[in-house]
Amino acid sequence: MNWLRHRKWIAHLWGWAGAVSIRTKIFGIVLGSTLLLSLGFTVQVRLALANFLQGEARAQGTSIARDVAARSADLILINDLYSLHQLLNEIQTNYANVRYVFVVDPQGQVLAHTFGNTGFPLSLLNINQVSPGEFQSTKVLQTDEGLVWDVAVPIFDGKAGTVRVGISDAQIHKTLQMLTSQLLYTVVLVLVGSLLAATSLTWILTRPILNLVEATGKIAQGDFSPRVARWANDEIGDLAVAFNQMADELSRTDELRREREQLRRQLLEGVISAQEDERRRISRELHDGTSQSLTSLIVGLRMLETESDLEKVSQQAHTLREVVRQTLEEIHGLAVQLRPSILDDIGLVAALEHYAHEYQNRFQIGIDFQTLGLDAKQRLPAPVETSIYRIVQEALTNAAKYAQAKHISILLKQSQGMVSTIIEDDGGGFDAAHILRTGLKESKLGLYGMQERASLLGGQVVIESTPGHGTTIYVRIPLERATNAKNTRHAGR
């Protein structure tokens, strides 16, 4: 549970930090690091200096005490207490950190001191005493004025008495305060410098990032023209180069998308126009052919009603039968042109064989039709059969209309869940890429229509053609996706 709470707390903290801008992060890191380092350095220097000064103070107290012990020995022996008192006052005057100096005899009586009119504090007598055989003794006293190092040095091995010197830490505190003030002043200067450095650093780092953000926003709105300059040969510069490459790819993709949309609109317009043309043609043929034939049939039947000569009735019946046969052939031709019933009845292979036979008779172009992995009775999903039939139909129409081919080969193959069709002719060929990009509307829409039929089923159409070297069209359509699409439509119904 504690681990989970810590994890949630860390996640909350990370979320808060992530919501802060990069500029604020850089300022915080630079200023925070500078402040922590400066304060840490100040504390370390202060502690080191305090230890050093305290050690110096103890050493100074010992040195002063020994000097006083050496100089006061003769004065004690001749009992010159006045000179001894003067000596102690001189020592206190010459050393600012000496809080007090006094001399006691072997019996513990104070011979001289520097406390003046305030009187000698008797509590100091037994605080620090030199044991026999010791050269000195130091005690740390906690007073209202701060710490005092009390140093005791014997005179003539304690036979003439003991010198006691008190070294105050007031001067140490003063020195430390002065040094700390200087260090803090330096910290302020460093922080100001860090602030200027952070400002420059954030401007250098965030300016290209902000340019990237601005350009990204424009690209998100559909404007693919913005590009960002590479400021330096670092990671941000590499990011700018990668962004420009991405923008170029998006621009090309958008251009292709627009072109495909335009081709879709043209294809739709062409389909609608073709439907209207086909309807007009069928209407005209029905009116000019079938309607006239039916009218002739009605007139002939009326004549039969009044005819009494059996021979003439027989001749008229024969003529009417021919009219009916011709009318049926015309209607059958129209039906086949709209959609061959053989495609629905017995499948793709038979429909393509029948169409290839009619194509040869109509255009006098040899066709070699082969199948692999398929037989005449095998059925494929209806969308696949329709698409392949229309693609082959369009390819053969183009070969007859534009390529002036003498021979065409068609290979229909099924393998590994894929139906492949290869249509190859020996015609004049063309520049497929140029036609798809800038060709005539009719031929362009025909090629694009073949690609669209295959892409709707997850397949593709690849057109390889070179002027003077014929044309080869490769069609690949996956059966699984076509079957799923068919099942989806049935389920929707």
Give the model's pLDDT for residue 411: 93
Q: What is the mean pLDDT of the chain?
A: 80
8 A C-beta contact, residue 417 and residue 458: no
Would you say the CATH fold of 345-492 matches that of 22-178? no
pLDDT over threshold 60, residue 344: yes
E strands present in 105-160: 110-113, 137-143, 146-155
Three-point CA angle 292, 298, 299, nearest 5°: 90
pLDDT over threshold 80, residue 7: no
pLDDT over threshold 70, residue 398: yes
Give the model's pLDDT for residue 400: 84
Cα–Cα dist 374/378, whole Å: 6
Tell me the two tokens of residue 374: 């398929």
Mean pLDDT (whole number) for 189-207: 80
Tell me the two tokens of residue 397: 């129409």
Mean pLDDT (whole number) for 419-441: 77
Residue with the bigger pLDDT between 414 and 327: it is 414
Express as a percent the part of the chain with pLDDT over 90.
11
pLDDT confidence bin for 476, thresholds 50/70/90: very high
Residues 83-142 have pLDDT tens digits of 989 999 998 888 888 889 999 988 888 899 998 877 888 888 888 888 887 888 988 888
Mean pLDDT (whole number) for 233-251: 83
pLDDT over threshold 80, residue 265: no
pLDDT confidence bin for 492, thresholds 50/70/90: very low
Mean pLDDT (whole number) for 285-291: 62
Residue with the bigger pLDDT between 370 and 291: it is 370
Give, in order, the Cα–Cα distances in Å from 283 to each of 116, 296, 493: 139, 18, 33
8 A C-beta contact, residue 425 and residue 411: no
8 A C-beta contact, residue 373 and residue 414: yes
Reading across the β-sheet that carries 407-415, which strands appear in turn? 366-372, 407-415, 418-425, 471-478, 460-465
DSSP-assigned states of every residue in 17-84: HHTS-HHHHHHHHHHHHHHHHHHHHHHHHHHHHHHHHHHHHHHHHHHHHHHHHHHHHHHHHTT-HHHH
The CATH T-level fold of domain 22-178 is: Beta-Lactamase (3.30.450)
8 A C-beta contact, residue 443 and residue 428: no
Element (H, E) at 162: strand 161-168
8 A C-beta contact, residue 165 and residue 65: yes
Cα–Cα dist 222/224, whole Å: 6
The terminus-to-terminus CA distance of the chain in angstroms comes to 54
Residues 442-471 have pLDDT tens digits of 555 677 778 888 888 888 999 988 888 889
Mean pLDDT (whole number) for 476-493: 60
Residue with tokens 């009318």: 327
pLDDT confidence bin for 369, thresholds 50/70/90: very high
Collapsing DSSP to helix, strand or coil, 438 comes out as helix
State phi, psi for 366 to the nearest 5 degrees: -70, 135
Give the model's pLDDT for residue 154: 92
Tell me the two tokens of residue 348: 């793709």
Residue spans per domain, the chain:
22-178, 345-492
Give the model's pLDDT for residue 466: 83
Residue with the bigger pLDDT between 332 and 72: it is 72
Q: Considering only 30-34, 151-155, 328-332, 439-443, which range has the smallest mean pLDDT?
A: 439-443
Cα–Cα dist 422/4, whole Å: 64
The top-scoring range by mean pLDDT among 2-16, 108-122, 288-302 is: 108-122
Residue with the bigger pLDDT between 275 and 266: it is 266
pLDDT over threshold 90, residue 31: no
pLDDT confidence bin for 270, thresholds 50/70/90: low
Cα–Cα dist 361/423, whole Å: 19
8 A C-beta contact, residue 228 and residue 49: no
CATH architecture of the domain formed by 345-492: 2-Layer Sandwich (3.30)
pLDDT confidence bin for 349, thresholds 50/70/90: confident
pLDDT confidence bin for 493, thresholds 50/70/90: very low
Residue with the bigger pLDDT between 254 and 369: it is 369
Give the model's pLDDT for residue 420: 93
Handedness of CA 8, 10, 16, 19 (dihedral sign): negative
Express as a percent the part of the chain with pLDDT over 70.
78
CA 353 to chain centre: 54
Three-point CA angle 481, 487, 492, nearest 5°: 125
- Closest-CA residue to 362 (of 333, 327, 388, 335): 333
Give the model's pLDDT for residue 489: 46
